[in-house]
Structure 1
């Protein structure tokens, strides 16, 4: 069982979080470059959220969804 948790640790520490370690090391060398990269990711996230909200609004304005109280069986 202990090997299972070490495998999860190796997956995250040695593989998935390597870009975060590189960004942390970059911040110690050049703060402006690290901040620029962070702002780029924040802008990408904002654009994706705006796109998603516009898509939801488009489908909501289309009035194809059944919004009656008996539309879902769990209600």
Structure 2
């Protein structure tokens, strides 16, 4: 059983997280946080897209805003 958990450790430490070791030892803060900036930009783009879709459905009047629109209300 110990070998199983050591195998999982080896997979993550030496396999999946090795790109983060490259970023960890960089001198430039902006470059070392490239992954964080990438996720932040993707999240901002997704939020803007979602808000535009919500506005589109709100202005078209397709949404049922009555009290009985949802059974749990």
Q: Which range, TM-score by smaller chain? A: 0.5 to 0.7
Number of residue pairs matched by the alignment: 63
**Unmatched tracts of structure 2, length 5 or more:** none
Q: What's the TM-score once normalised by structure 2's chain length? A: 0.60
Q: What's the TM-score once normalised by structure 1's chain length? A: 0.59
User: C-alpha root-mean-square deviation of aligned residues, in Å?
Assistant: 2.7
Change (3 A) 1:63 1:34: same
**Unmatched tracts of structure 1, length 5 or more:** none
Higher CA-based Rg: 2
Partner of 2:48: 50
The counterpart of 2:63, out of the listed 62, 65, 73, is 65
Contact kept? 1:26, 1:33, Cα under 8 Å: yes
